[in-house]
Amino acid sequence: MLSARGLAHRYGGTTALDGVDLTVGAGGCVALLGPNGAGKTTLVNLLVGLLPRQRGEISLAGGDPRNASTRRWLGVVQHRWATPAR
Ligand X SMILES: Nc1ncnc2c1ncn2[C@@H]1O[C@H](COP(=O)(O)OP(=O)(O)OP(=O)(O)O)[C@@H](O)[C@H]1O
The phi-psi region of residue 30 (left if phi > 0; otherwise alpha if psi is between -120 and 50; otherwise beta) is: beta
Q: Which residue among 18, 19, 21, 38 contacts ligand X (CB under 6 A)?
A: 38
Query: Who contacts 42 (Cβ-Cβ below 8 Å, separation ≥6)?
Result: 9, 16, 17, 51
Cα gap 4→56, rounded to integer Å: 7
Residue 39 touches ligand X, criterion: CB under 6 A: yes
In angstroms, the CA 17 to CA 68 distance is 25
Partner from ligand X, Mg ion, none binding residue 65, C-beta < 5-8 Å depending on class: none
Q: Does 53 bind ligand X (CB under 6 A)?
A: no
Q: Can residue 60 be called a binding residue for ligand X (CB under 6 A)?
A: no
Write down the least CB distance from residue 69 to ligand X, Å: 27
Q: Which residues are at the interface with ligand X (CB under 6 A)?
A: 11, 14, 16, 34, 36-42
